[in-house]
Amino acid sequence: MFTTLFNTSDITSSALATATMGCFAAAGLLALGLSWAAERWRISIALCAVAMGLSGLYYLGATEVWIATGQASAGPRFATLAAVHPLLVAAAYFFANVTDRVPPGVFWRATVAAFLMTLSRYLGDAQIFNPTLGVLLSIAFWLYILGEMYFGKMSDVVRKATRPVQLGYFWIRLIMTIGWAIIPILHFVDVVIGTGHFAPIVILYTAADAVNLITLSLIYIAVAGKERY
């Protein structure tokens, strides 16, 4: 991206480059937030900073590949999301844990489910088993995570929290409900229907990540700032 020129009319390259800058900017802002955020917020913020750094590295590579070849590969995306989604689910756990202790079992179940959510789609894409089964399993693990967030101990704890924490948790949960639903839908179109990673699919994936990753991560530092200032 920094060594190869591309035209502004290449919307896909522009979207990927914008996502690269957005992820790195969010990672830097979150890292800076560690210096002033109260100690109880630092684990969540640090987890989000790492997730944004990994996402930025992925988008940097994806931009270079698209500029050079006009193609995109699902493999690096799966590898990135296999780390990023568990990190973001873990951040939500520690966010709820700020108010009161949430059982550690919730952490392990939710983060493992987040990893399996991505692994299922990868195994389907790799034709290790039926792609439709991969999508269905991915949706099942995603619904389990939402079950923990809506009906589990995390939700019970947040009900006793301050207004900023409750509002932040509301938006975190909403993005993980509506925003994350876009991913299996796009994967179904991409893999099961068989459209492949052509330009509109790549753009939609990138636009979804602007909300699902960047906006979601910045909520944590916004709540930490609201409580401090």
- Provide the CATH number for the domain around residue 109: 1.20.1070.10
Position 149 in a domain: yes
Position 6 in a domain: no
Query: Which two three-digit tokens encode residue 148?
Result: 């923990």
Position 5 in a domain: no
C-alpha 197: how far from chain center: 19
Position 198 in a domain: yes
- Give the whole-angstrom CA distance, residue 163 versus residue 197: 42
Mean pLDDT of 47-65: 94
Which structural domain range is residue 114 located in?
A: 11-228
- Give the whole-angstrom CA distance, residue 178 versus residue 33: 27
Position 51 in a domain: yes
Tokens 């890292």 appear where? Answer: 31
What tens digit of pLDDT does each residue of 67-123 get?
Answer: 888 888 788 889 999 999 999 999 999 999 988 889 999 999 999 999 999 999 999
Position 164 in a domain: yes
Work out the percent of the chain whose per-residue pLDDT is above 90: 64
User: What do you get for the CA distance between the two ends of the chain, in Å?
Assistant: 38
Position 1 in a domain: no
Q: Is the pLDDT of residue 145 over 90?
A: yes
CA distances from 131 to 9, 19, 75, 141, 161 (A): 34, 28, 15, 16, 41
Q: For the whole model, what pTM was predicted?
A: 0.92
